[in-house]
Chain A
Amino acid sequence: MNVVTKSPSNTALLLSGNEAVARAAWESGVAVASAYPGTPSTEILEAISAYAEVRANWAPNEKVALEIAIGASLAGARALAAMKHVGLNVASDALMSQTLAGVAGGLVLAVADDVGLSSSQNEQDSRYWGRFAHLPILEPCDSREAYELTRRAFALSEEYGCPVILRLTTAVCHVKSLAEVGRREEHPAGGFARDPSRYVLVPANARRRLPVQQERDRRLRALSASGELFRIEEGSDARVGFITSGPAYLYVKECFPEAPVFKMALTHPLPVEAIREFTAEVGTAVVVEETEPLVETELRAAGVPVRGKDLLPAVGELTPPVLRPAVAPLLGGAAAAAPATPAQVFPRPPTLCVGCPHLSAYYCLSRLHKQTIIAGDIGCYTLGAGHPWNALDTTTCMGASMGMALGLDLGRGETDKDKGVIAVIGDSTFLHMGMQGLLALAYNRANVTVLILNNDATGMTGGQEHPGTGKDLRGQPAPRVDLAAICRALGVRDERIHVLDPYEMPTFFKVLKQEVATPEPSVVITTRPCTLTSVFQRRPPYTVVDDACTGCGNCLNAGCPAISVTRRETERTRGGKEVVRSYVAIDTMACTGCSLCAEACGPGAIQLAAQE
């Protein structure tokens, strides 16, 4: 089933914002699309891969994805690069220079801000990049606008000769709403037009492009002022008027349906004079934007009287429960009635899956944590920071574990002199940004052990393929990179590279401990696939022999969600110490037979379940 591709034109579909972007890109004649998976942007490329006409691919990281799109554009084809907000930090080097050279075929950069941090290490406002890189920013509010503005973005990109940034947020990407779709228009690649004075950015050439960029800025300001990309919605109650864009517009309409609204699709450059006129017609003008006060600051600098972040938070989504009470004082309204109190219920944090191959690694790391410092990375294994393992000391950005581990090693003080330093990273993250860190570790002869948790997938985003899985975006066979060979090539000695089955926990633990004690760069690579992938194979499940269980609770330290406590008893040992015994059971329906709990069980109470 694929509603995105199979549906005919002129039908209204229930699409997520990501699907709407993919559909519109395809209709716009896109020939090449590239991305690295990242919440909330991942589904853009997944959806576009269903269109046979598009050469869609996973790039190892966002910088490469953008460079692929730039290259395709220079070949005269229309191209799309998609990424999450932090991905654009990685891609920014290419962006900041290519903005000077410009594009040939339409190039759209879809960047998804995780407003509210559903699955990210920070919350940042990608609209800054428009100001920084002199590029137009389009901000859709829902799937219909995501569709319309994606189509518009390709046309604008070619008209102004620059990439166009389509700024999405989680509330666009991951909300389904109705969008009417059309049909594909072909845009055959125009051919590469050799022009080294433009595309070879040596200083003399780059210098000549600066006035071109300034002229483009001027034309974009004129476009913004023209009114094509904003609209004014009249309202019967003009005590407060709103200046807004993106999903914040929807929240304004929900809360204040009678208020005048200045609704922008293009938020950089700003239509400053039109907004100034709007503010003159309303009592108080309030800028409602997610997340940083960019529009507000520019309007204030231009002397336009607006309010904004003095009323509203500069973090998180400005949903009705946030927006309504913040604006209420301007309307003479009383403070909102106290909301119903939520019930007190235990927390349910995300955790590693039943039988996850990372369980064993974190079980072992938790046992070594006292004598080690563990630098982590971005992926499912970040969950190792949680209960019951508590075995991560840092998480910063993609690939940071190894550089930071080297720094922790080089900068260590007296209190850490006997500690081991471990870097933990996944296979997809290693290929994204980790290899340079390992190169630095090897080159500088660091006393660091690197644990590459290779689960044959980009796990956290849903098990996407990458150059280490042997398959491409469409699941077709592709060259498979050899992680151990990469480590060798980067300078780690052969004897210090171990490829191990994490389900063989005793061996895995022994080798990890030995490598931590060895004062040179070493790498341990695991071999079991993510349990959510199609290559994962379940093994016969385990069960607890009740009579043999002593309630020691060792198996619970594995952290497998299939193990639960059936009863708890407080006992006094012969020495007079009070201990709590936790007797357990295994959900055999959920158990995948990884055997980790059986290996952790001293009395041998965990056995293979009888086969039905």
Chain B
Amino acid sequence: MKANGITNILVVGIGGQGVMTASEILAQAARAQGYDVKKTEVAGMAQRGGVVTSHVRFGARVYAPGFGVGQGHVLVGFEPAEAMRWRHYLTAEGIALVNTQRIPPPVVSTGLHPYPDDPIGAMRDAGTRVRAFDAGSIARDLGDARMVNTVMMGAIADHLPFAPDVLKEIIVEGFRARKPKVAELNGLAFDAGRKAAHAAG
């Protein structure tokens, strides 16, 4: 990993999917491990169904809040075409964890632009390591489609420079404080995401 001791994560998706929540959890986990952290946010126009990205960087000392093409260690894609769009931000050794649930925008629905036939295949052909799985149905099978975010967090857990349980603990504790009823369920969603990412490898 990490030539200068800094981990670069790019979380991508669409407004409303929970990209910001995911990057916030990653940043809080890194902070709890004693790292210096920077995390980018978006607001305003981009949130209206547009592309949403968030950079999370942590290490001993982080200067720039974002990173450039070819510098990402992990790409978390909430949507396959979005993962494909941002693939080139990964280093040659980087890994992409991708939810295969497609969300075509109106410009695709109305036939102005085609949706890529096989975004995951295209990423692999371009030399990217990809772990792809249907996080949406995993969440639904567990009883709540809104847990996609937690499933994705589980998937990334084995690709961070700290123990998977650190991330899980932060997520479950977060729910315990706000929505205690679903805390345990989110723990299961986290484990299921971890397992799915392994199985997809």
Contacts and interface: CB of A to CB of B under 8 A. Distances in A.
Contacts of B112: 346, 387
Interface string A90-129: 0000000000000000000000000000110000000000
Contact of B84 (A40, A343, A349): A343
Contacts, number: 169
Contacts of B46: 118-119, 350
A556 interface: yes
A510 interface: no
Nearest to A42: B43
Interface centre among B41, B87, B122, B126 (most CB of A within 10 A): B41
Interface string A370-387: 000000000010010001
Interface string A2-18: 00000000000010100
Interface in A328-363: 339-343, 345-353
A399 B105 CA distance: 30
A321 B63 contact: no
Contact of A251 (B48, B64, B85, B122): B64
Interface string B60-100: 00111111111000000000011011011000000000000
Contacts of A174: 40-43
A412 interface: no
A342 B88 contact: yes
B81 A350 contact: no
Contact of B88 (A340, A564, A565): A340
B14 A176 contact: no
Contacts of B39: 14, 175-177
Interface in B1-57: 14-15, 24, 27-28, 31, 36-51
A229 interface: no
Interface centre among A343, A349, A580 (most CB of B within 10 A): A343
Contact of A347 (B113, B119, B122, B123): B113
B27 to A, nearest CB: 6
B106 interface: yes
B44 A40 contact: yes
B69 A340 contact: yes
A149 interface: no
Contacts of B63: 250-251, 253-254
B111 interface: yes
Q: Which 9 A-B pairs have the closest CB atoms?
A: A119-B44, A39-B44, A346-B113, A350-B50, A340-B88, A321-B68, A350-B48, A119-B45, A254-B64
A175 B57 CA distance: 11
B179 to A, nearest CB: 12
A345 B44 contact: no
B38 A348 contact: no
B116 interface: yes
A253 B63 CA distance: 7
Interface of B: 14-15, 24, 27-28, 31, 36-51, 62-70, 81-82, 84-85, 87-88, 104-116, 119, 122-123, 126, 145, 177-178
Nearest to A250: B63
B109 A564 contact: yes
29 contacts: A14-B28, A40-B44, A118-B46, A119-B43, A171-B65, A174-B42, A175-B39, A176-B24, A177-B62, A319-B64, A320-B64, A321-B68, A321-B69, A340-B69, A342-B69, A345-B84, A345-B119, A346-B115, A348-B51, A348-B105, A349-B105, A350-B46, A350-B48, A351-B48, A351-B50, A351-B105, A460-B44, A565-B110, A582-B111
B48 to A, nearest CB: 4
A387 B169 CA distance: 44
B49 A353 contact: yes
Nearest to B86: A342
A561 interface: yes
A485 B98 CA distance: 53
A351 B48 CA distance: 5
Contact of A556 (B28, B65, B109): B109
Given A40-B43, A339-B69, A178 B36 contact: yes
A339 B70 contact: yes
A559 interface: yes
Interface string A482-500: 0000000000000000000
A523 to B, nearest CB: 26
Contacts of B70: 339-340
A388 interface: yes
A14 B37 contact: yes
A349 B69 contact: no
A553 B109 CA distance: 10
A387 B110 contact: yes
B107 A387 contact: yes
